Amino acid sequence: MPKPKSSAPVVSTLAVVPKTKQKKAKQASWMTPYLSLTIDPANASTQAAQRPDLNSIPTVVWRESDNITFTTDAQGNFWIDFLPQLVNMYRTKTLSAASPPAITATGNNSVVNYAELLTTFSSWRPYSISVEMEYVGRQDECKGVFGVATTGSMPIVTDTTSMLYDEYDYKEVSAQTGGIAGALRLQDNEDFSALDAGVDINPNQYVSLIALGLPASTACLRLRYTIVGEFAVGHSKLMSRSTSHSYVRPSEVHAASNIIGPNATTAAGKEPYKELVSYAKKAVSLGAVLNNLYQDNRTAITAGVEFLGMLA
């Protein structure tokens, strides 16, 4: 006698959630706004992205960005420095005709909307700054090189472009090949400072970008900068309605602090800023495992070895 067929409902295989989706959902649980903003200061959301610490001041995380076209000098050279502050944030250099070019004067420029920021906020502390530069002139005139490095002191008069070549994270690329990008991410600055004063960062950090041998006296340099900070708002200011309080989660700060090494601060090539973000995302992921923000199939030892390999 044939065996009776089961009357139980058939379970569709389409209802099974693929493992990849489960993994993505798990990752989303620890990738907080603060970490996302640390990875990608130019594009990540600033909503509720306050640094997780014991600061009890209601604040707003604010981003300022600008796109500027610069002109090379009579020799086709250019030099600009950025630092994480609002007043005199970027400084263009007047260069000599010598080889290598030497600095003869510096011009100071404050962040865009600086006057409005002064009337809106009372004090602030910087989170990060990122800059990108590329060639935007005629293709048949494209020549020369770009260079980028971070330094511990502001380049001054008589300094030459050669001083950047020996920096730990110096990178360069042909203008025909791509552009350059630099980023500074600050995790150790605890104090708020006045908006109209320079930021006392220990140690001081600067991003220097140079262009050498490009078309002379030509507006062919396109530069984009982004600066992000946590701003305190006066109680009578309109923006006070949008403030948030930080929560305490030291492991987040520790995970973000793992974004170190020469590939964390400078990049050169076709998509240099994308390279910085990609490196930072991997470093934060490893840092999250090492600081117990989440667990995956890597042990702490495996994650540590992988992280050290990124610094090589």
Per-residue pLDDT of the chain (312 residues; tens, 9 = 90+): 555 555 555 444 444 445 555 454 444 478 999 999 999 999 999 999 999 988 878 899 999 999 999 999 999 999 999 999 999 999 999 999 999 999 999 999 999 999 999 988 989 999 999 999 999 989 889 999 999 999 988 899 999 999 999 999 999 999 999 999 999 999 877 788 888 877 656 667 899 999 999 999 999 999 999 999 999 987 766 677 778 888 888 899 999 998 988 999 999 999 999 999 999 999 998 888 888 888 777 766 677 777 677 766
Domain count, the chain: 1
- Answer yes or no: is 89 within a domain: yes
- Answer yes or no: is 35 within a domain: no
- Answer yes or no: is 7 within a domain: no
Cα 82 to Cα 183: distance, rounded to the nearest angstrom: 10
- Answer yes or no: is 23 within a domain: no
The reported pTM is: 0.85
Q: 130: domain range?
A: 54-247
Tokens of 306: 């992988």
Cα 152 to Cα 76: distance, rounded to the nearest angstrom: 27
The DSSP-derived string for 102-120 is BEEEEEEEPPTTHHHHHHH
Q: Write down the pLDDT at residue 14.
A: 46
Q: Are 75 and 97 in contact (CB under 8 A)?
A: yes
123-135 and 179-185 beta bridge pairing:
antiparallel
Q: Write down the pLDDT at residue 12.
A: 45
The DSSP-derived string for 259-293 is --SHHHHEEEESSHHHHHHHHHHHHHHHHHHHTTS
The SS3 assignment for 164 reads helix
- Answer yes or no: is 287 within a domain: no
Residue 242 CA, distance from chain mean position: 24
**Type and span of the H or E element at 60:** strand 59-70
CATH number at residue 141: 2.60.120.20
Q: Write down the pLDDT at residue 3.
A: 55
Cα 262 to Cα 168: distance, rounded to the nearest angstrom: 6
- Tokens 């006392």 label which residue? 200
